[in-house]
Amino acid sequence: MTAILIVCVVFLLVVVGLAIRSRRSRDAVADFRRQIDALSPEARKDVADRVRKIGELDDSVESGDEAVAQEGDDDDGS
Amino acid sequence: MARDLAIDLGTANTLVYMKGRGIVLNEPSVIALNRQTGEVLATGREAWQMIGRTPGYIVAVRPLRGGAITDFEITERMIRLLLQRVGVSRFTRPKVVICVPSAITEVERRAVTDAARRAGAADANLIEQPMAAAIGADLPIDEPVGNMVIDIGGGTSETAVISLGGIVALEAVRVGSFDIDAAIQNHIKRQHGIAVGERTAEEIKMAIGSASATDEDSTAEVRGRDLMSGLPKTVVLTAEEIREAIEDPISSIVDSVVRCLAKAPPELSQDFLVRGMYLVGGGGLLRGLAQRIENETQVPVKMSNVPLEAVVLGAGHVIEHYDALKGMFMGVRR
């Protein structure tokens, strides 16, 4: 009777252990998938937009500087 | 309820990104204090303008060197003031993600997170600068391809190979823009016998500094204090002599890029030849540096569209997708 009880308990522990392990590995796969999805170009659209905006702003500032430099050159020439 | 923040706590500049709003602060990492009372007199740009120009009772300092905190208390006060400026109060405590060099020690990591928590953050997590830079530079790091990013900051230079959202190979040296400025200061002191300040050295670097010979080799007139007579003196520096003066720090940076390439797995190495590597950080703006790295590695080097903001934009993306990307924080078991 005791032997049967021990076998049942061991069997139960093995089943629970396997279930936890399988769940953990499923969670790891889901977490990895979620991380990769969050790094995808679609998810990073906001970042890309902000990069473009800053780039455009820098370009406009640079072209403004050039205009000032050219004006200065004209002044020197005249 | 405070909006969560991403902070690029750099040796040279500190940038803050607010969730849903973008970059809300971009200032030099400098704080000016009253030496006698310990009171903060200015931070950021205002304090930066005071460097080397303060009376005896005021001290304007950079509390970070080589990407690490050198003065914990001052750094904490600086972070607290920065957080206050972006609307964080005693009652609104945000989650904060801070970008730090990947090579910092466990003790240095704890110093940064403790400083942020004491300054008002509800929770502070760290992310490696090259990883944040790769996200901010919009590299396809979600794909199984080799992405290489070189981040040259004020105190550190880091090169990383990134694939599938993780760092595959990494090489970091505690050499950055400030070491280039220091090399210029030493050269002028040794060769011309005059002392110039940190800011003047930086201006010389920006005006005529280069990492490789360029078409337009120019000169710059520099005013400093004669070390022998103590009187103001003017000297003319050439681009060539500055190039030679900064050779040591430049070589250290280029060598670390070469070492990182050597560490990369062969499957990813072939990707670099096609895709190139991306340069970010203020140090990357040095004239001829991209060309020099390209010549020594035979790999194309591209400049990011946002070299100064890439790191904080990347960390900002992480704060926008906090739950999905929290596995990327430093010290989290992967």
**Residues B15, B18: Cα–Cα separation, whole Å:** 10
CB pairs under 8 A between A and B: 57
Mean pLDDT of chain B: 91
pLDDT tier for residue B1 given thresholds of 50, 70 and 90: low
User: What per-residue string of b and e applies to B115-148 under the rule 16 or more CB within 10 Å gives b?
Assistant: bbbebbbeebbbbbbbbbbbbbbbbbbbbebbbb
Q: Identity (one letter) of the amino acid at B33?
A: L
Phi and psi angles of residue B303, each rounded to the nearest 5 degrees, phi first: -90, 135
Q: Would the pLDDT of B14 be above 50?
A: yes
CB of B99 within 8 A of CB of B164?
no
Task: Give me the interface pTM, i.e. the ipTM.
Answer: 0.77
Q: Are B75 and B63 in contact (CB under 8 A)?
A: yes
Higher pLDDT, A25 or B158: B158
**How many helices (H) and strands (E) would you count in chain B?**
12, 18
Which residues in chain B are closer than 8 Å to A47, comparing Cβ atoms? 135-136, 138, 313-314, 316-317
Q: Is the pLDDT of residue B330 over 90?
A: no
pLDDT, mean of residues B135-162: 94
B317 → chain A, closest CA residue:
A47
Distance from CA of B195 to the nearest CA of A (A): 31
For residues A38 and B326, what is the distance between their CA atoms, to the nearest angstrom? 11
pLDDT of residue B251: 97
Query: What per-residue confidence (pLDDT) applies to A25?
Result: 63
Could you give the CA distance from residue B252 to residue B179 in angstroms, rounded to a whole number?
11
- Of the segments B7-11, B51-55, B103-107, which one has the largest average pLDDT value? B7-11
The pLDDT assigned to B125 comes to 94
Cβ of residue B164 closer than 8 Å to a chain A Cβ: yes
pLDDT of residue A68: 36
Confirm if B209 and B237 have CB atoms less than 8 A apart. Answer: no
Phi, psi of A18 (to 5 degrees): -65, -40
Q: Does A43 touch chain B (CB under 8 A)?
A: yes
User: Which residue is closest to A46 within chain B, CA to CA?
Assistant: B317
Residues of B in contact with A51 (CB under 8 A): 136-138, 305-306, 309-310, 313
Tell me which chain A residues have a C-beta less than 8 angstroms from the C-beta of B165.
35-36, 39
| pLDDT tens-place string over residues B34-91 | 988 888 899 899 999 888 888 989 988 888 887 778 888 888 888 888 888 888 877 8
Q: Which of A24-33, B102-111, B234-243 has the highest mean pLDDT?
A: B234-243
Does the CB of A55 have a partner CB in chain B at under 8 Å? yes
Choose among B312, B322, B297: nearest CA to B136.
B312
Residues B256-260: what's their mean pLDDT? 96
pLDDT > 90 in chain B, percent: 64
- Is A51's CB within 8 Å of B305's CB? yes
Confidence of residue B214 (pLDDT cuts 50, 70, 90): confident
CA A76 distance to own-chain centroid? 53
Residues in A closer than 8 angstroms to B328, CB to CB, are 35
Residue A65 has pLDDT above 70, yes or no: no
How far B230 CA sits from the closest chain A CA (Å)? 36
Residue A35 C-alpha, separation from nearest chain B C-alpha, in angstroms: 5
Q: Which helix (H) or strand (E) holds B159?
A: strand B157-163
Q: Is the pLDDT of residue A74 over 50?
A: no
Give chain A's mean pLDDT.
Answer: 71
In the chain, the amino acid numbered B292 is: R
User: What average pLDDT score do residues B252-277 get?
Assistant: 94
| Residue B90 and residue B118 in contact, taking contact as beta carbons nearer than 8 Å | no
| Residue B297 buriedness (CB in 10 A; 0-12 / 13-18 / 19+) | middle
A44: nearest CA partner in chain B: B317
Q: What is the residue-wise DSSP string for A45-72?
A: HHHHHHHHHHHHHHHHHHHHHHHHHHHH
Reported as a single tens digit per residue, the pLDDT across B187-196 is: 999 999 999 9
